[in-house]
Structure 1
Amino acid sequence: MTQPFRMRNKDDGYRPANGPEMMIRLEADAIIITCAKPLETLSSAVVGGGFSKAERIVNWKVPLGYEGSDPVRDFHQMLIERGVPGKATVGLLTAAKLTHASIFETDGDGFSMVCCTTAGTGNAARAGLARPVFSAYEAGTINTVVLIDGQLTSAAMVNAIITATEAKAAALADLGVADHLHHAAATGTTTDAIVIGTCKSERYSGIHRYAGSATMVGSAIGRLVYDTVSEAVSTQKES
């Protein structure tokens, strides 16, 4: 499955065959990923960021002009209105099309995984170049969630973020996405976010201590992030 919320009844949700046992649903203005078992997560999420334990991941769509004076408060208010528990929830904000979320999955030696990306490139940027900066929070534009059924060390989870970021930058380069301020190839946008989640089930006993692109698990992360970013970005202007 690649873009299930464009191709089927949204109310059905999507249950990946790989990765931790979960259900991915599009509910109005939020993608809600509910996991059967708690996940160990490492993320840049505005809610539940850093190292955390999560039972669900929520990617909430906000208006394009959302200024985010208090995104944590706004996010928790949204959860209350939906009757979704705030405890054990990792929360992301985006202004991208949720219907165009791209989902890819795979398995390998000692792991299986699923990756979900929502993306827009209106504020594409190349890291390392000077630009106007700000302290206020803005909604994430490329939000990527990588969920792995397998045993990863904390260091490997950090390594996974590096690999995922490299894959995102490669996808944007191949798509020709540019930083309009500098007219150079973009490496991301100014408001991207990522979640790496692992479920240490009994299916896999081997411990992954590295997740660089030359490892089996890292190579899989790179491929799935590349594919989901490519699809979500390239279809963002389609209906």
Structure 2
Amino acid sequence: MTQPFRNGSSYESVHWKGLGLQLLEDRIEVSCPEPLHALSSAVHPGGFSQTDRIVNWKVPLTYQCGDPVSDLVRQCKEWGCDPQRTVGLITAAKLTHASVVEVQGDKFNLLCCTTAGTRNAARAGLPRHTYPAYTPGTINTIILIDGQMTDSAMVNAVITATEAKTAALQQLGIVEKASGEPATGTTTDAVVIGVSQRLSWNAVHAYAGAATSIGCKIGEAVYASIHEATRTQQED
């Protein structure tokens, strides 16, 4: 567990050759050594996609665009990223306080990077005022796996990651302001699961619940990164 951008601008994976993260003026950019099979709730493109670049774009708290997809596509072009192969996230959290966790597992390697802003912390399951437009705040979690997973296991990984996120927030005592109840996340959280599907692993993970080796490590990595990024977000 580390926060590499508090004193630097780049991070190279310890276990996955060619995988790097870079802090630029207005974004964290993840460069992948090969195309990844991705599943995400990202602003762009969302769902399943093929990607070799993931961008976490920082916007001001006043950002209230009604068309964030078009904004991200335009930004990708300005950055020299192919919008068709880039997964784009939006955050208002401190990029410098992103937390990175790496794990070597049973027939996989894993890197998790989280940025966390909790001004809009919320508890799912309670009634509230809803709105269609995107607003920043956001816990963005990027989970990159050098290994093989089925599509259903990737969906399972989203569930496990979400449970770990909620556990970390509750451990930290983060609450929804309106109700005072423990928060389960924020109103605009996003997650990306990117998998290399490298055949040389010769092992396909079909499940990713907490009882599986890969699910357990996903949960541990997400918990640790969200705990660190959230706990330190008010620090300089």
State whether TM-score is above 0.5: yes
The amino acid of 1:161's aligned partner reads V
Tell me which amino acid in the other structure corresponds to 1:4: P
Q: What is the number of equivalent residue pairs in this alignment?
A: 236
1:6 paired with 2:3, answer no
Shift of 1:87: 2.2
Q: How does 1:22-37 map to 2 (within 5 A)?
A: 22-37=19-34
% identity of equivalent residues:
54
Q: Residues 66-85 of structure 1: matches in 2 within 5 Å?
A: 66-85=63-82
Q: Does 1:109 align with 2:106?
A: yes
Superposition RMSD in Å = 1.2
Task: State the match for 1:146 in structure 2.
Answer: 143
What displacement does 1:21 show? 3.7
1:20: Cα distance to partner?
Answer: 6.9
C-alpha distance in 1 between matches for 2:67 and 2:89: 13
Give 1:95's aligned residue.
92
For residue 234 of structure 2, what is the aligned residue in structure 1? 237
> Which secondary structure does the structure 2 equivalent of 1:178 belong to?
coil
Identify unmatched segments of 5+ residues in structure 1: none
Equivalent residue, structure 2, for 1:224: 221
Q: Which runs of 5+ in 2 are unaligned?
A: none
User: How does the TM-score come out when normalised to structure 1?
Assistant: 0.96
Match of 1:43 in 2: 40
- Are 1:167 and 2:164 matched, yes or no? yes
The secondary structure found in structure 2 opposite 1:25 is strand
The equivalent residue for 2:182 is 185
Three-state SS of the structure 1 residue aligned to 2:21 is strand
Q: Distance in 1 between matches of 2:29 and 2:72?
A: 13
Which amino acid in the other structure matches residue 100 of structure 1?
Answer: H
> 1:47-82: per-residue Cα shift (whole Å, max 9, x none)?
121000001000000110111211111112222222
Task: Give the ranges of 4+ consecutive aligned residues of structure 1 lying more than 3 Å apart after TM superposition.
Answer: none
**Structure-2 residue corresponding to 1:212:** 209
Match status 1:52 vs 2:13: no
Structure 1 counterpart of 2:178, which letter? L
Of the candidates 128, 133, 140, which is equivalent to residue 130 of structure 2? 133
**How far, CA to CA, are the matches of 1:93 and 1:2 in structure 2?**
22
